[in-house]
Structure 1
Amino acid sequence: MSDFDLFVIGAGSGGVRASRVAAAYGARVAVAEEYKVGGTCVIRGCVPKKLLVYGSHFAEDLDDAAMFGWDVPAKTFDWAVLRDNVLGEVSRLEGAYTETLKTHKVTILQERATLTGPNSVRLASGKEITADKILIATGARPVMPAIEGIEHAISSNEVFHLERLPKRIVIAGGGYIANEFAGIFHQFGSHVTLVNRTDVMLRHYDQQIVDRLIQISLRKNIDFKFHATIDRVSRDVNGRLHIAMTGCDDLEADELLFATGRHPNTEDLGLEAVGVETGDNGKVGVDEDNRTSVPSIFAVGDVTDRVQLTPVAIREGQAFADTFFGNKPCRVDYGSIPSAVFSHPPLAGVGMTEGQARNTIGPVKIFTSDFRPMKNVLAGRNERSLYKIVVDAESEVVVGIHMIGPDAPEILQAAAIAVKAKLKKSDLDDTLALHPTMAEELVLMR
């Protein structure tokens, strides 16, 4: 008899969900985690980053307060206070996730585990453990380029632990992580330069929405260097970084942050030795039921490099546990996944972009609302929001919704139901507006 019914390697979002649900079905479950329970999202990703986003929003809110009658005589910011409070919340959440696993009688092993066979693993301590099924949920890590002086740069892992707020920061990348930290540090008062090797930003989002973010960012004096690459980095005796560039003049900064993608954590797991096939970028190949090339070994989350989003990893972990331990076969639907960039202002989208729709279904109808939020009007802030609905011209079905503006991600979560349910534009038109709100624009476009 095996030691466990299920052995999970990695206690991130997907691993924790699979462990908890499988244990709730009565399975004997163990999970090995060599760092901290909670994974990237909770420990050094979306949760602490969103807390920094909240903190940075006060910069504009305090400026706007005067037009609403509030006297704010002095505006100062203490990075150390926010940093330490965020890290304290991360520690609390780690404890909560750990307690959840313990409550469900999941055995937690705080050490590294590697595969030794289709039904066995070896812990760092040398102990061998057997299991009927093994689930790989080791996530991914930031990519750091192999350039001279890379030891002077940081990734998104280290950004939450900075000793002091940089006066000047260079951020390399064109994805959501780069744009989110660009907005955060700008609001904290840093001079931000965003370097991208192409002129394409946020490639999976609607281009019109992305263009609006770039326009707003430029007006805020965030500096963009397109078609530029970083060649090498050095630090002088005063602690300043010199960044040698191709495609633009060399840059000086206090910090250099690379946000240029994430690499699945598959090295030294024993995958090759047991016959688990991996693909490009080291990702673990799986079928629709999260099964690898070895029938008893499965994988979920970022390590599969399908869709690197926390809710997707959670849904995959749930589907795995339901299918193999709950006798409720199910698979994840990867269509119409809502996503957001917590930039300043935030943007969000679900379904097909205008470009994707035209290339996929042909004739489309585009409805937009370009407006200045009421709060911005009274505050004297000229920043405009943009909402966009993409409709199949023949069926009138809403195939995409995209927006940029205050609270866009919060609004999109409900709006995503329209795309998932394949509602028609007339269904939105027939819905009464909730006035005065920004969200009412979604049902007023004609």
Structure 2
Amino acid sequence: MKYDFDLFVIGAGSGGIATARRAAGYGARVGLAEYDRLGGTCVNRGCIPKKLMVYTSHFPESFVESQGYGWSNVSSVLDWPKMITSIQNETKRLNGIYQKMLDTSKVKIFQGRGKFIDNHTIEVGKDKVTADKILIAVGGYPVKPNIPGIEHTITSDDIFNLPKQPKRIVIWGGGYIGVEFACIMRGLGSEVIQIIRRDKILRGFDDDLRLAIQQSMENNNIQILKNSEVTSIEKTPQGLKISTKGNKNNEIVLADTIGLAATGRKPNLDNLGLENINIEINKGAIVVDQYNCTNQPNIYAVGDCTNRINLTPVAINEGRLFADSHFGKSTRIMNYENVPSAIFSNPEAATVGLTEFEASEQYGENGIKVYKSQFRPMYYVLPEKEEKTLMKLIVHKDSDRVIGAHMVGNYASEIIQGIAIAINAGATKAIFDATVGIHPTSAEEFVTMR
């Protein structure tokens, strides 16, 4: 049978666009459906606008720290609308770049939500198209808990459109999104209260990393209510009244809004017509094999809708490997071990490989050796700030391989990127030790730990 397209992609986020362009580069006829702006969560509501806000939030402390180096006191006020407008303009610029790249690649774009009619037919608005292979790359979206008054709250998607800066904001959730926005809003001058269900933030990350970030956040006047759960939210003339339960009963009046950024995300599978093709779903996510194939042999999925490792570079790599395998000359699969990640908190953190707990579970407590260093970086000496950097290596004793690396401190994400290459190459602690450090830097500590 002759189809309209060799490949049709549903979703023009990072994974979908990467797949479409790579497949088209191999000569495939590619169509793509998107009901929103090009670039998906990362460009429009995630990585890019968030990182721009991170940069903005660092200036006030830089002004203060500069005085330790001899600069005079700086008095500056944030123009919130200008910041928001600048960020929105940048995302629009990136939307245009994606449009040009897809046009150059001769990918045909359909504006609208793609919906399955059958295994080879997609409906987009008034159009119906057929394709040999179909890739689902619809990403995920933030969800809100079902509690009284939840309609008075926002999610991380909404914070980039707030018309004015909240003077006091409550952030519910201890995951990396909640932690990042707590640090951003505090840096921008808002009073921040963070409510977490457990005693520590960032469940799933290395315990030393979690503790170091949490202590620093509290030292920077972010109030963290631990072991607490929000039970109801009430809008009052004074603001939002947020009731919690936990170790203590608390009532908080919030003057502006509450951000629910880190209470969870789920795959964006509504209105896709998956019931028409009997796609297997498990815990709300599309089930795929190592080749990103669903239980239907011509239908595939990549990125957050599969709920494996929900990171933009992972979705991009999955998509490109899919295109290489089906339209190129090589069959390759994604390696999900040692995927590095960063938390753009203040201080910044980054990690790759196993946590100490995971390594102990896998090899036993006596099967690993942990190297750890905590120090004040040179940058903070003249400003006389007691800001600490944490670095940690986890080594498998029998092989001497470095199986985990974790860092909290300035430029952690930049430094861990290089460490990730070494770990993926199977570098041993002896190789780390034999590497000459760059002095004076924080990064050299990774090759001098004994």
TM tier, smaller: over 0.9
- Which residue of structure 2 aligns with residue 353 of structure 1? 355
Query: Partners in 2 of 1:69 and 1:81 — Cα distance?
Result: 30
Query: Partners in 1 of 2:267 and 2:436 — Cα distance?
Result: 46
- Which residue of structure 1 aligns with residue 125 of structure 2? 124
Residue pairs, 1:186-197, within 5 angstroms = 186-197=186-197
Query: Partners in 1 of 2:74 and 2:139 — Cα distance?
Result: 46
1:212-232 CA deviation, whole Å, 9 max, x = no partner?
Answer: 111111111111111211112
Give the Å deviation of 1:51.
0.5
Query: Partners in 1 of 2:417 and 2:185 — Cα distance?
Result: 26
- Which residue of structure 2 aligns with residue 171 of structure 1? 171
- Which residue of structure 2 aligns with residue 13 of structure 1? 14
Whether contact under 8 Å (2:136, 2:299) holds in the other structure is yes
Letter matched to residue 113 of structure 1: G
- Which residue of structure 1 aligns with residue 417 of structure 2? 413
Aligned residues: CA RMSD = 1.0
- Which residue of structure 2 aligns with residue 257 of structure 1? 259
- Which residue of structure 1 aligns with residue 149 of structure 2? 149
- Which residue of structure 1 aligns with residue 401 of structure 2? 397
Number of aligned positions between the proteins? 443
Query: Partners in 2 of 1:372 and 1:45 — Cα distance?
Result: 31
Q: TM-score, normalised by structure 2?
A: 0.97
3-state DSSP of counterpart to 2:258: strand
1:349-388 CA deviation, whole Å, 9 max, x = no partner?
Answer: 1001111111101221111111101011111110111100
Residue pairs, 1:38-53, within 5 angstroms = 38-53=39-54
Deviates more, 1:211-220 or 1:67-76: 67-76
Query: Partners in 2 of 1:73 and 1:184 — Cα distance?
Result: 20
Give the Å deviation of 1:83.
1.0
3-state DSSP of counterpart to 2:250: coil
- Which residue of structure 2 aligns with residue 367 of structure 1? 371
- Which residue of structure 2 aligns with residue 75 of structure 1? 76
- Which residue of structure 2 aligns with residue 134 of structure 1? 134
Q: 1:305 aligns with which of 304, 307, 321?
A: 307
Query: Partners in 2 of 1:310 and 1:204 — Cα distance?
Result: 19
Instruction: Establish whether residue 246 from structure 1 lines up as the match of residue 235 from structure 2.
Output: no
1:146-174 CA deviation, whole Å, 9 max, x = no partner?
Answer: 12221210001001011111111110111
Instruction: Establish whether residue 378 from structure 1 lines up as the match of residue 377 from structure 2.
Output: no
Letter matched to residue 262 of structure 1: R
Query: Partners in 2 of 1:434 and 1:204 — Cα distance?
Result: 32
Give the Å deviation of 1:236.
2.1
- Which residue of structure 1 aligns with residue 285 of structure 2? 283
Instruction: Establish whether residue 443 from structure 1 lines up as the match of residue 447 from structure 2.
Output: yes
Residue pairs, 1:54-133, within 5 angstroms = 54-125=55-126, 127-133=127-133
3-state DSSP of counterpart to 2:56: helix
1:327-358 CA deviation, whole Å, 9 max, x = no partner?
Answer: 31100000000011000001111001111111
Query: Partners in 2 of 1:216 and 1:356 — Cα distance?
Result: 24
Give the Å deviation of 1:36.
0.6
Letter matched to residue 441 of structure 1: E
Deviation >6 Å, runs of 4+: none
Query: Partners in 1 of 2:202 and 2:151 — Cα distance?
Result: 27
Q: 2:321 aligns with which of 287, 302, 319?
A: 319
Query: Partners in 2 of 1:148 and 1:205 — Cα distance?
Result: 31
3-state DSSP of counterpart to 1:329: coil
3-state DSSP of counterpart to 1:22: helix
1:303-346 CA deviation, whole Å, 9 max, x = no partner?
Answer: 00011000000000001100111131100000000011000001
Letter matched to residue 309 of structure 1: L
Query: Partners in 2 of 1:211 and 1:217 — Cα distance?
Result: 10
1:76-107 CA deviation, whole Å, 9 max, x = no partner?
Answer: 11111111111110110111111111100000
Q: 1:424 aligns with which of 418, 421, 428?
A: 428
- Which residue of structure 2 aligns with residue 295 of structure 1? 297
Query: Partners in 2 of 1:321 and 1:303 — Cα distance?
Result: 18
- Which residue of structure 1 aligns with residue 212 of structure 2? 212
Deviates more, 1:264-273 or 1:334-343: 264-273
Query: Partners in 2 of 1:17 and 1:322 — Cα distance?
Result: 11
Query: Partners in 2 of 1:200 and 1:64 — Cα distance?
Result: 29
3-state DSSP of counterpart to 2:333: coil
Letter matched to residue 306 of structure 1: R
Query: Partners in 2 of 1:35 and 1:74 — Cα distance?
Result: 40
3-state DSSP of counterpart to 2:131: strand
**Residue identity (%):** 44
Query: Partners in 1 of 2:308 and 2:275 — Cα distance?
Result: 20
- Which residue of structure 1 aligns with residue 182 of structure 2? 182
Whether contact under 8 Å (2:200, 2:214) holds in the other structure is no
Letter matched to residue 51 of structure 1: L
Letter matched to residue 182 of structure 2: A
Give the Å deviation of 1:124.
2.0
Query: Partners in 2 of 1:204 and 1:85 — Cα distance?
Result: 34
- Which residue of structure 2 aligns with residue 202 of structure 1? 202
Deviates more, 1:436-445 or 1:221-230: 221-230
Give the Å deviation of 1:72.
3.6
1:240-292 CA deviation, whole Å, 9 max, x = no partner?
Answer: 11112222311111111112111101112111221111110x20000111111
Q: TM-score, normalised by structure 1?
A: 0.98
Query: Partners in 2 of 1:414 and 1:231 — Cα distance?
Result: 44
3-state DSSP of counterpart to 1:336: coil
Q: 1:331 aligns with which of 333, 344, 347?
A: 333
